[in-house]
Each structure stands twice: as structure tokens, then as C-alpha cells.
Homo-oligomer: A and B are copies of this chain.
């Protein structure tokens, strides 16, 4: 008895509504989609039945008919990285605003195959991701599947649908900035070079360094690791710090790394910026907090936001033009470089 009632109340379908309102199921559908094409009286009867049964249309069935799911799949990097906090927030806000649901996956550069498989089986209307490698086979797959996608922060070698900072010149700006501030020695901390972001930021740094400092970059003065081993990093930094006289700064490939470096150096007993300067790239929100107050280089716009805007535009206009944004950057001169 009670169960029966529940079924009718909670999981009511348009057929149940139709019966109650003594109309055909088609009419119920019309009331929802083309109310003006239904007689006033009939409409009210249906509306009342809908209310009474707490009827909620099954979006799955709708999607099946329409062929579109109104789902956008977001494959984000880990939220321990404040960059992805910022981008996730922007993406979810904008997409929701536009009537899309956001399916979120959080990945770690590892175990990503399975994520793609699962994500794609949901037939999202679009895919937005950041975790792509410079030579990633997935791109080919996506093109074949003919599903709109965009990458932000990182891009593929093929320059297909991406929104990125001008990574090369961002690092260049950082390096110039340190030079102008008369730093004598720079230590670089980055990530694996199979990722466009790290690849070009490192290149930008290396080229610029060798140009302005007139010497080739010492292999002991940088670290590019997939997963940063903070014990090893501590040792390397310590060695570099002891060896080099003068004014010293660490250039981190991302704000996330820089913020971790703030911890590390403090723990090592090095005060920032007095004994060692630290500068990042990205200009994440967290860097603006006065207790972090990280000097960094970044853009005025949120890459994730640009990417989702473009993706949705592509979806809704069935546009075929390549999404290609390279956002220029500037220095945000705050407290960790003096």
C-alpha cells in the first residue's frame, strides 16, 4: 500500500500523469514543451496532475530522443593544485548557467586511460580537460569520435582546440624580472617535459637565462620531475643555495609548486624573500592572499573560463573552427621577490 503510493509519487512517468489527467501521454509532453499548443483547460488539468504526482521528467529519456545529453565532462587535475580549483569553479559556474550538467573527473596524469573510457561512454556533448600530454594518442581518438573538446592549460603538439598561456614568454618574463631585480642565481623547479606547459615554460626559462646570464644552465640548477620528491628537492636546493653567492631566487613552473616551495624553504630555515626569492607562474587566486602574497606571472583571464565558453559555443553552433588561444601574461609583483 505504502509502497504503491511511493512509486506513484516519486517515480511517476508521463503516462501516470496522463492517466490522472485523463489525457494521452503525448499531451503531457506537449504541456511541458509547447504549452501554447494545448487548450487552457486541458493544460491546467495536466499541470495539476503533475503537481499532485510530483512528476519530474526523466532527463535520460529526453536525451535519448534528442540525441544530446546536455552533459559536459570535465577532466581536471587534482584540487590540491589551486590552479584547478580556480578553473573548476569557473567551468562549473559557466556551464551550469548555460544549462549543462558537469560530470567531473579528477586525475593525476596516471591511470587516465580508464577515465577517458568511462567519460566517453556517457556521450557528453563536450569534453574539457587539462591533463593532456604533448603527444597524446587520445586526440586522434577524440577527432574520430567527432565529439567537441577543448584542452586548457596544456595543449597537444597538433595545436588542436586549446587555451593556454604564452608559456614560453611567461617564463621569459619571470627570468627577465629576476635579472632586473639583480638576482645572481636562479634555481628552476618544474615538471615533466612531455607536457606542453612545462616544456615551453622550461624552454622559455632556459633560453632566456642563457641569453641574459651569458652562461649555459647548470644541470644542478634545475629539476623537472613528474612527481616532486621533496626530500630530493630539499637537498638539491640546499646544495645550490650553499654553492652560489649573491642574491638567489627559485623560479617555479607553476604557482602550485611555488606555494609548496614556500613551505619547503620555510621548513629549511630560509626566509623568503630575504634569503631566497620565490616566483611562480599562473597567478592563482590563492597567490593573492596577503599571507601567501606570491610574486608570479600570469594572465588577467581564467583559462578554464575561456575554454568552457568556447566549448559551449562550439557545441551550440556546431562550429568547426579550431579553438586556439594563447593568452599573454604579465608580472604580478608581490611579496616573495624583493
Contact = CB atoms under 8 A, between A and B. Distances in A.
Interface of A: 6, 9-11, 54, 56-61, 63-64, 69, 71, 78-80, 85, 88-89, 92-93, 96, 101-106, 115, 117-118, 120-123, 141, 144-147, 259, 262-263, 266-267, 285-286, 289-292
The 7 closest A-B pairs by CB, nearest first: A10-B146, A79-B89, A10-B145, A59-B121, A59-B122, A104-B104, A266-B290
Decide if the interface of chain A is mainly helix, strand, loop or mixed: helix
A16 B123 CA distance: 17
Contacts of A292: 289, 291-292
A56 to B, nearest CB: 5
B63 A121 contact: no
Given A101-B103, A103-B101, A104-B104, A146 B6 contact: yes
Contact of A263 (B10, B106, B291): B291
Number of copies: 2
A136 to B, nearest CB: 16
Contact of A60 (B63, B96, B141): B63
Contacts of A121: 56-59
Contact of A146 (B11, B60, B118): B11
Contacts of A69: 60
A64 to B, nearest CB: 5
B64 A92 contact: no
A259 B289 contact: yes
A96 B74 CA distance: 13
Contact of A80 (B9, B56, B71, B89): B89
A32 to B, nearest CB: 11
B106 A104 contact: no
Nearest to A289: B263
B80 A106 contact: no
A234 B51 CA distance: 48
28 contacts: A6-B146, A9-B144, A10-B144, A10-B145, A10-B147, A11-B146, A54-B145, A56-B117, A56-B120, A56-B121, A57-B121, A58-B123, A59-B121, A59-B123, A64-B64, A71-B103, A79-B85, A80-B89, A80-B285, A85-B85, A89-B106, A93-B106, A101-B118, A101-B122, A103-B104, A262-B290, A263-B290, A267-B290
Given A56-B145, A263-B291, 8 more contacts: A9-B145, A54-B145, A56-B123, A60-B63, A60-B122, A79-B79, A80-B89, A263-B290
Nearest to A88: B79
Nearest to A89: B79
A159 to B, nearest CB: 22
